[in-house]
Amino acid sequence: MNDETLAQRGDRVLSGVQSHVSRLTVTGGRGPYLYAEGPNGQRREILDLASGIAVTSTGHCHPEVVQAIQDQASRLIHACAGIVYYDGPVQLAEELREKTGLSEYQFFFTQSGTESIEAALKLARFVTKKPRFLAFEGGFHGRSLGAVAVSSKYQAMYQPLMGPVGFLPYPNRYRAEQPEAVFLANWEAQLAEYMATHHADLAAVIIEPMLGEGGYIPAPAVCLQAVERLCNQYGVLFILDEIQTGFGRTGQWFAHQHYGVDPDVITLAKGMGSGMPIGAMAAKASVMAKWETGAHGGTYCGNPVCAAAARATLDVVEPLIPTVNALAHRAMAVLNDRLADHPYVGDIRGLGLMIGIECVTDRATRVPNPQWVKTVMAAALDSDVLVIACGGGAVIRLMPPLIITETQLLDGIERLCAVMHAHR
């Protein structure tokens, strides 16, 4: 008999390159809960405030999504959009235009966020005939080599990377050293100087509306508006990475709808397919028209089963979007109240149901405290609440499914806060 745990078996046969936040083994999930086996064989019900990294916005195994997947799988699983036409991706693109405010865009479907980024970078080079990109420190756009070249993470491990790529600081209010107005003016001046110097070979500026992996830091609206204005002025493409912020997570279909900006290119994935691997690179039809047929493509792009899951996800998410801000407001109020005097809580911030709690060794020095966050995450899991971190491990991030009820969410927050107070 094999008495190894599943995690031990996995360690033996799976590549060790994939890191794991926990050793938790789950057997299934429904709604906001994951199921696992307790020490005495009893079923543990774990409130999942990670949503598989902002993916399962409709909760685990939403019946409408499951039904759509099953129906499509019995009709057609694959034929390749490069060979024939079938209805799924066409209907999905039509519905994205009709429902989500992306009426002027065309779509190239992918299987992941990083592929959406690769498509965006290739489109930008092809269309502008310029090589350079401008990205931001702390930004994370994926793990394929083009995406790594425009991300802060993993740069050192994979040199030489695609270039030229320039980096400027992401506008982080919590760590700003000047008064707000001066900080914003300086940030914009730095951007303007970079654009003035490099516009002749600059294909695109790529930025997240809110840093995801980098620490759940929302950009001030004026910063994204400055990016848009300067891109328009210099004939540079504005790529907005909405892979983590998209599909209702922030209380709008897409975060840029809060900011009043109109990017040339938007990258999507994560919450799009309720866990089925689908993403998209959306570009203004006028830009997409300049990308020559055959200059890019893929075997699985617009897979019928993934497209069916995405269409069902749109239907489930649509009525939830107006509820997101009220839920987020309640969550923020409770967090602010319960953690007001916590010595290790430096900042609580968010946009819709993307909430970050930045933890520090003390509030005056603001030195990041990833070690303490690790302790809190393990203790929260012992209390059957799953949370994960970002921002170099120092920011606890909450990204519950959008179907979560207020009672469920506040229960999870209360259990998390209790753990945070127990470990001070």
Ligand X SMILES: Cc1ncc(COP(=O)(O)O)c(C=O)c1O
Binding residues for ligand X (CB under 6 A): 53, 112-114, 117, 140-142, 208, 212-213, 241, 243-244, 269
Q: How far apart are CA 267 and CA 124, in angstroms?
A: 13
Question: Cβ of residue 390: shortest distance to ligand X, in angstroms?
Answer: 9
CB of 58 to ligand X, least distance (A): 17
Closest CB 357 distance from ligand X, rounded Å: 18
- How far apart are CB 113 and ligand X at their closest, in Å? 2
Minimal distance, residue 244 CB to ligand X, in Å = 4
Nearest distance from C-beta of residue 259 to ligand X, angstroms = 15
Our measurement of the distance from residue 328's CA atom to the centroid of its chain's CA atoms, rounded to an integer in Å, reads 17
- Closest separation in Å from C-beta 267 to ligand X: 7
Nearer to ligand X, 140 or 291 (CB): 140
**Are 190 and 229 contacting, i.e. CB atoms less than 8 angstroms apart?**
no
Looking at the Cβ atoms of 240 and 420, the one nearer to ligand X is 240
Instruction: Please choose, from the candidates 363, 362, 395, the residue with its C-alpha nearest in 3D space to the C-alpha of residue 376.
Output: 395
* CB closer to ligand X, 280 vs 417: 280
Q: Which is nearer to ligand X, 165 or 339 (CB)?
A: 165
Amino acid at 237: L
d(C-alpha 13, C-alpha 420), whole Å: 36
Rank residues 171 and 212 by Cβ distance to ligand X and give the closer one. 212
CB of 347 to ligand X, least distance (A): 20
Nearer to ligand X, 224 or 345 (CB): 224
What residue number has its CB nearest to ligand X?
113
Q: Are 171 and 188 in contact (CB under 8 A)?
A: no
> Which lies closer to ligand X via its Cβ, residue 132 or residue 249?
249
Cβ proximity to ligand X: between 150 and 404 the closer is 150
Quote the radius of gyration of the chain (alpha carbons, Å). Answer: 22
CB 205, min distance to ligand X, A: 15
Q: Which is nearer to ligand X, 51 or 360 (CB)?
A: 51
